[in-house]
Amino acid sequence: MGFKDIINDVKETVSKAVFTPSTLISGRGGLHMCQIILCLVTFFLGAFKGESTHTYWNYAMFTWSFCPIMTIIITLIEMFLLDIPLNLFCMDWPDFTTGMAMSSTLMTLTVAITYANFYACSKCFYAWLVSLFAFLCGVVYAMEVVKDKILDGKKGSYLAALPGFWKVMEAFVTCIIFISLTGYHDKPVLILCIIAYIIPFPIIPLIIATNILKKLKKCLPFNLDRFVFIFLVISVVLYAFAAIVWPIFMFRNNPRPSDCPGSYCIWAIQFMVAFMTYVNLILFIVDLVFTLLGICGFKRT
Render pLDDT for 155-179 as a digit per residue (tens, 0 to 9): 888 899 888 999 999 999 999 999 9
| pLDDT tens-digit series, residues 1-29 | 555 655 565 555 555 555 555 556 667 88
Last residue of a domain, one of 99, 119, 153: 153
How many domains are contained in the chain?
2
The one-letter code for the residue type at 223 is N
Given a contact cutoff of 8 angstroms between Cβ atoms, the answer to whether 20 and 79 are in contact is yes
Do 196 and 295 sit in the same domain of this protein? Answer: yes
Question: Is 3 inside a domain boundary?
Answer: no
In this structure, the number of other CB atoms found within 10 A of the CB of residue 147 comes to 16
Question: Domain check: are 179 and 126 in the same one?
Answer: no
In this prediction, residues 207-225 reach a mean pLDDT of 83
Per-residue CA distances from 13 to 1, 24, 239 (Å): 16, 20, 48
Closest residue by Cα to residue 39 from 151, 161, 144, 137: 137
Domain membership of residue 294 (yes or no) is: yes
The 10 Å Cβ neighbour count of residue 246 is 25
Domain for residue 2, yes or no?
no
Name the band, by pLDDT with cuts 50, 70 and 90, for residue 221: confident
Q: Are residues 250 and 130 in the same domain?
A: no
Model confidence at 301, in pLDDT bands (50, 70, 90)?
A: very low
- State residue 276's pLDDT score: 95
Within a domain: residue 4?
A: no
Look at residue 214 in the predicted model and tell me its pLDDT.
Answer: 77
- The answer to whether residue 95 sits within a structural domain is yes
Q: For residues 140 and 204, state if they share a domain.
A: no
Average pLDDT over residues 91-120: 91
Tell me, yes or no, whether 146 and 172 share the same domain: no
Q: Which pLDDT score is estimated for 260?
A: 73
Same domain for 238 and 190, yes or no, is: yes
**Is 284 a member of any domain?**
yes
How far is the C-alpha of 300 from the C-alpha of 294, rounded, in Å?
A: 7
Percent of the chain with pLDDT over 90: 48
Q: pLDDT higher for 18 or 193?
A: 193
**Domain identity same for 104 and 56:** yes
In which domain, by residue range, is 23 found? 9-153
List of residues 6+ apart from 200 with CB closer than 8 A = 170, 174, 231, 234, 235, 238, 239, 284
Q: Which of 47-51, 102-106, 150-154, 210-214 has the lowest mean pLDDT?
A: 47-51
Q: Which of 153, 174, 202 is the C-terminal boundary of a domain?
A: 153
* 1 within a domain of the structure (yes/no): no
How far is the C-alpha of 87 from the C-alpha of 71, rounded, in Å?
17
pLDDT of amino acid 263: 58
Q: Say whether pTM exceeds 0.75.
A: yes
At residue 269, does pLDDT exceed 60? yes
